């Protein structure tokens, strides 16, 4: 889930507006917080820590989400696939994984283990 979506969900769950959040974040006005919530800008590390504290979640949860969106090892297609996967229900996710596994056979050793 994109960082902006996570921030919007946390804000909604806690009944906080952009202005409410801005009061707890160093050097951030309501316009800046709104830009974060819309995915137009990214908060800095100090601001992410303050956001985590404001929402009562571990900073690592927000930081890991941000890191995964900036991971240069992932292609655009991988990001799109992950976003699509996260939008599916559990049954659909399982079906998608089955299709993906059938397209890329497991190594022989793993296949042998399954037959036993």
Q: State the CATH architecture for 3-70.
A: Orthogonal Bundle (1.10)
Rg of the chain over all Cα atoms, to the nearest angstrom = 19
Q: What is the pTM of this model?
A: 0.56
Return the pLDDT at 108: 59
3-state secondary structure the chain: CCHHHHHHHHHHHHCCCHHHHHCCCCCCCHHHHHHHHHCCCCCCHHHHHHHHHHHCCCHHHHHHHHHHHHCCCCCHHHHHHHHHHHCCCHHHHHHHHHHHHHHCCCCHHHHHHHHC
Return the pLDDT at 21: 94
Per-residue pLDDT reduced to its tens digit, 30-89:
999 999 999 899 888 889 889 999 999 888 778 776 666 666 666 777 777 877 887 889
Domain with CATH 1.10.260.40 in the chain: 3-70
Can you tell me the distance from the alpha carbon of 17 to that of 57, in angstroms, rounded to the nearest whole number? 17
- Enter the tokens of residue 98: 């089955």
């Amino acid at each position: 889930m994109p960082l902006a979506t996570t921030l919007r969900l946390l804000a909604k769950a806690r009944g906080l507006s952009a202005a409410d959040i801005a009061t707890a974040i160093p050097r951030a006005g309501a316009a800046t917080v709104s830009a974060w919530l819309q995915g137009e800008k990214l908060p800095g590390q100090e601001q992410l820590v303050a956001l985590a504290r404001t929402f009562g979640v571990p900073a690592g949860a927000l930081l890991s989400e941000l890191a995964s969106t900036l991971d240069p090892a992932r292609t655009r297609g991988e990001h799109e696939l992950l976003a699509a996967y996260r939008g599916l229900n559990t049954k659909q996710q399982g079906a998608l994984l089955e299709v993906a596994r059938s397209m890329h056979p497991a190594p022989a050793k793993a296949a042998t283990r399954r037959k036993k």
